[in-house]
């Protein structure tokens, strides 16, 4: 039989995997890397905040990669049209 901490951790794994669109194994590693190891740190408020930070970090990284792929002449034209 599982203890409450294990069940709560597995629920957190499910939530992280769904929200970050990653595998369960990646979600487990993410939780451990971000120090969500005990019951207190698995509260929904803390977890949602950390997931939000991670989603924002990923969004900024995608945007930076997208901007880096646009040729400079197109960037200049876009700035002039604003």
Q: Where are the domains of the chain?
A: 4-81
- In tens, the pLDDT along 21-60 reads 999 999 999 988 887 766 666 677 788 888 999 999 999 9
Give SS3 for 6: helix
pLDDT of 68 strictly over 80: yes
Give the ranges where the chain is alpha helix by DSSP (H): 4-20, 24-33, 44-69, 72-81
| Across 5-9, 41-45, 65-69, 75-79, least confident range | 75-79
pTM for the predicted model, two decimal places: 0.63
DSSP 23: -
Maximum pairwise Cα distance, the chain: 65
Give the pLDDT mean for 12-21: 92
Q: Whose structure tokens read 């900024």?
A: 60
């Amino acid at each position: 039989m599982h203890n409450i901490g294990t069940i709560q951790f597995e629920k957190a794994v499910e939530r992280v995997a769904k929200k970050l669109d990653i595998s369960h194994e990646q979600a487990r590693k993410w939780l451990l890397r971000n120090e969500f190891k005990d019951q207190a740190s698995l509260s929904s408020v803390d977890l949602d905040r950390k997931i939000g930070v991670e989603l924002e970090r990923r969004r900024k990284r995608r945007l930076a990669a997208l901007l880096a792929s646009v040729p400079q002449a197109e960037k200049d034209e876009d700035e002039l049209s604003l």
